[in-house]
Amino acid sequence: MLSTFPPRKDGVADYTEELMGHLSAHDPKRYALLTFKEDVGSHSSGSGVRPFPLYNELSMRDFGWKVAKAANRRNPRVLHVQSTTFIYPRAFLTFPFFLKKRLALVVTAHDAPGLRQFHTLPFLIPLYSRARVIITLSQSVARSVRSLPFVNPNKVVVLHHGVDTQRFSPEVSPERFLAHYRLLKGPFTFMQPGFVGQGKGQDVLLRAFGRLKKRFPSADFRLVIAGGTRTTADIRYAKSLSKLRDLLGLEREVVTTGYVPWSLLPSALAAADVLVFPYLGASQSGPLHRGLAMGKPVIVSDVPSFLEVVSDGETGVVVPKGRVQALSEAMGELFTDAVMRDRIGKGARSLALSSLDWEKDAARESEVYSSVIGD
């Protein structure tokens, strides 16, 4: 597999480590990861041991021929590339031209090029054209990829982002997270986990929480924004959130943790009474699926990839994206209705076990590999 890798703090790297860990659990000698010198560190999956070989011999500054040379030297039967429109430099993406012809290429497209990434299309052509299978993590991305003129729509499949339903479960205690961040156990806690950025809608959440406080002035509420930033634009946005928090008079009620270490993530989600995902757009969301596995009631915006997973009133509550009042009302409804929270939380857990478990997802990935090499 070719991908970025922790401790790089992005969702693709986390996805890669989880997938590789579950693939390798059954056959550790069959899979290996080819990644970047800048990315390798001590971060690893729950057990603390990487169950797969890792070759950190690439650089983001490499041209395509050098990337292909590293892949060809390993002589794999399948090269699985984790692809996005925002991670790899354009010169890097020419590597499919230099791969051995007999090497089967599989691509996971974590997003699809929109208007802002239109310049990436010429560099995605060799990647998508050479791939025997293109995996997407949602139907919305699949539709976008299938619409590209250089893609055979029949080779696009959908495999939703998996979740470790044993590690992320309702039995996890919040104590480690609360102790690490010195938080009291008492307040009713709304939480948005995941990276901070304008497309994640944290400003909408702050305004909705402010209205909720006015509606229930004596309630013991807390809002936790549990995530870090990745880019300079994200940092600027995070600073604007701090100003908005102060303007709304929510200094005491709003907690920002920054990047939550992987080891603390299950405990962090356990500390929430309600998880909120007010995204303005998304191709998929690992944090959402982890929240569902924890059996937490979730509120999500009505972006297409969320609607593929969350059924309104059954496994979560759906609100129109960007609508502050609608979000505030949904938060109030879950705050006042413990029966509803319990029912939706149980539905979320059941959904994760039946449809999102990593063991099943990894098995489907393995079937893809077998199909392209004829096993």
> What is the domain partition of the chain in residue ranges?
11-162+358-373, 175-356
At 110, the pLDDT band (50, 70, 90 cuts) reads confident
What is the pLDDT, as a whole number, of residue 202? Answer: 96
11-162+358-373 and 175-356, same CATH topology: yes
**Side-chain half-sphere exposure of 265, counting CA atoms within 13 A:** 24
27 vs 361, more confident: 361
pTM of the model: 0.89
pLDDT tens string 345-357:
999 999 999 999 9
Which of 12-16, 149-153, 170-174, 217-221 shows the lowest mean pLDDT across its residues? 12-16
3-class SS of residue 327? helix
Maximum average pLDDT range among 24-28, 62-66, 341-345: 341-345
The Cα 298–Cα 311 span in angstroms is 11
Which of 67-71, 80-84, 125-129, 282-286 shows the lowest mean pLDDT across its residues? 282-286
pLDDT tens string 244-263:
999 999 999 999 999 898 88
Provide mean pLDDT across the span 21-36: 82
Buried b (16+ CB within 10 A) or exposed e, 144-167: bbbebeebeeebbbebbbbbbbeb
What is the pLDDT, as a whole number, of residue 44? Answer: 46
What is the pLDDT, as a whole number, of residue 43? Answer: 44
Backbone angles phi, psi at 45, to 5 degrees: -65, 170
Whether residue 87 is predicted with pLDDT greater than 80 in this model: the reply is no
Provide mean pLDDT across the span 212-241: 93
What is the pLDDT, as a whole number, of residue 341? Answer: 97
Backbone angles phi, psi at 345, to 5 degrees: -60, -40
At 86, the pLDDT band (50, 70, 90 cuts) reads low
Class of domain 175-356: alpha beta
What is the pLDDT, as a whole number, of residue 351? Answer: 96
Whether residue 204 is predicted with pLDDT greater than 60 in this model: the reply is yes
| Mean pLDDT, the chain, whole residue set | 88
The Cα 55–Cα 221 span in angstroms is 47
What is the pLDDT, as a whole number, of residue 117? Answer: 60
What is the pLDDT, as a whole number, of residue 255? Answer: 96
Provide mean pLDDT across the span 168-193: 96
Buried b (16+ CB within 10 A) or exposed e, 104-138: bbbbbbbbbbeeeeeebeebbbbbbebbebbbbbb
What is the pLDDT, as a whole number, of residue 347? Answer: 97
Residues 6+ apart with CB under 8 A from 295: 169, 170, 345, 346, 348, 349
Could you tell me which of 349, 179, 345 has the C-alpha nearest to residue 268?
A: 179
What is the pLDDT, as a whole number, of residue 229? Answer: 87
Residue type, 97: F
Provide mean pLDDT across the span 276-283: 89
Output the CA–CA distances (angstroms, integers) from residue 108 to 127, 210, 221, 232, in the order listed: 10, 39, 40, 27
CB atoms within 10 A of CB 169: 16
How large a percentage of the chain has pLDDT more than 90? Answer: 55
Whether residue 303 is predicted with pLDDT greater than 70 in this model: the reply is yes
Q: Assign a CATH topology to domain 11-162+358-373.
A: Rossmann fold (3.40.50)
